[in-house]
Copies of this chain bind each other. A is one copy, B any other.
Amino acid sequence: MIRFTNDYSEGAHPSILAAIAAANCEGNPGYSTDPHAARARALIQSAIGRPDADVHFLVGGTQTNATAIAAFLRPYEAVIAASSGHICVHETGAVEATGHKCVACPAENGKLTPAAVRAAVAAHPDEHMVKPRMVYISQTTEIGTVYTLAELEELRKVCDACGLYLYLDGARLAAGLAAGGASLADIARLCDAFYIGGTKNAALFGEALVILNAALKPDFRYNIKQRGGMLAKGFLLGIQFEQLFADGTGAFYTSLAAHANAMALRLKEGIAALGYPFACDSVTNQQFPILPDEVVEALAPDFGFEFSAKPDAHHTCIRLVTSWATPEENVDAFLAALRDVS
């Protein structure tokens, strides 16, 4: 079976596996207090142009989001997100489990708009309601779209006007960088905090949370430990981000996603050429074609993908995901099969 199921089906880039093996018997201190973590922090600070940033390594995205949001907000404060946002839908209420409401807003093309943020703030005027205090966005979004620099700057403005933190979930940040979205430096300039996703971009696991706003920095490691995110062998996280950012620029990190995006766009073009529509105009490694049910059925035995929606009685929207490891021949095999059954 050829899998387009997700971008976490493979292990890690070979250079990462090699680095982990090489360090296996070094004997490192625990809990990310080791030299690898220190170097990885410095490399990320360099890549984002912010030597003052605090960088923390966590294992997964839901953990990172819940830990950061719970740490940054007071109990009655809420986070504004697109209703399609990962924290609103796909984290089993992890944010609510820390006591905070997610205020869900309608999204445009998967993206939260300044107008939606302003409306959410206006709808919560007093102490009988939660107090919106943070904006959560995903780059790329859950449907593969990308915030431009201009869009991010507009969101920053509304955050400043309304007293909101801006937090960016970068589970697929590399795909956004590769697709020409806001740069690492711009994100670091405009966000109060964000995370750089490793799991979905060639690490075994790991996310690097970057905190820019000095008010949010104190005691953050207590929060990581309390929420169960402090990896004993934290040097494994350091080693992986050392590899991903070895160049100190993010170029290698981005290049892995550039491949994934290229494979996805090859899928997109091929599918479009056969006349099939898409649920949205994704420019990154997730594509959402809408296919006749019998076509989906015919493809299912040989190709892995997720069912995304049922737009009408005879069609299915599926999700195809590519990664750093997707071979071009897999894409071509899919397109050939699609051609055959169309």
Instruction: Tell me the chain A residues, 1-58 only, with Cβ under 8 Å from chain B.
Output: 1, 3, 5-6, 8-12, 14, 17, 20-21, 23-31
Q: Report whether A226 and B60 are in contact in the complex, using a CB–CB cutoff of 8 Å.
A: no
Chain B residue contacts of A219, Cβ below 8 A: 74, 76, 127, 131
| A236 CB, min distance to chain B CBs, angstroms | 6
- Complex: chain B residue closest to A64, CB-CB: B228
A99 an interface residue at 8 Å Cβ cutoff?
Answer: yes
A209 an interface residue at 8 Å Cβ cutoff?
Answer: no
The distance in angstroms between the C-alpha atoms of A195 and B144, with both chains bound, is: 38
Q: Report whether A60 and B25 are in contact in the complex, using a CB–CB cutoff of 8 Å.
A: no
Chain B residue contacts of A104, Cβ below 8 A: 104
- Complex: chain B residue closest to A7, CB-CB: B232
Given known A-B contacts A3-B27, A76-B222, A8 and B91 have beta carbons under 8 A apart: no
Q: Report whether A96 and B91 are in contact in the complex, using a CB–CB cutoff of 8 Å.
A: no
The distance in angstroms between the C-alpha atoms of A66 and B229, with both chains bound, is: 11
- Complex: chain B residue closest to A171, CB-CB: B232
Which of these, B8, B100, B199, contacts A93 with CB under 8 Å? B100
| A52 CB, min distance to chain B CBs, angstroms | 21
Q: Report whether B27 and A21 are in contact in the complex, using a CB–CB cutoff of 8 Å.
A: no
A109 an interface residue at 8 Å Cβ cutoff?
Answer: no
Given known A-B contacts A92-B222, A205-B236, A227 and B97 have beta carbons under 8 A apart: yes
| A36 CB, min distance to chain B CBs, angstroms | 11
The distance in angstroms between the C-alpha atoms of A227 and B70, with both chains bound, is: 12
Q: Report whether B76 and A226 are in contact in the complex, using a CB–CB cutoff of 8 Å.
A: yes
| A81 CB, min distance to chain B CBs, angstroms | 13
Instruction: Tell me the chain A residues, 193-249 only, with Cβ under 8 Å from chain B.
Output: 199-200, 204-205, 219, 221-233, 236
**List of 9 A-B pairs having minimum Cβ-Cβ separation, nearest first:** A63-B228, A11-B24, A76-B222, A92-B225, A92-B226, A93-B101, A93-B130, A8-B232, A127-B221
Using a CB–CB distance below 8 Å, which chain A residues touch chain B? 1, 3, 5-6, 8-12, 14, 17, 20-21, 23-31, 59-64, 66-67, 70-71, 74-76, 78, 89-94, 96-102, 104, 127-131, 199-200, 204-205, 219, 221-233, 236, 304, 325
Known: A9-B29, A62-B230. 11 other contacts (CB 8 A): A5-B29, A9-B30, A10-B26, A11-B233, A17-B21, A76-B222, A90-B129, A93-B101, A96-B100, A97-B99, A205-B233
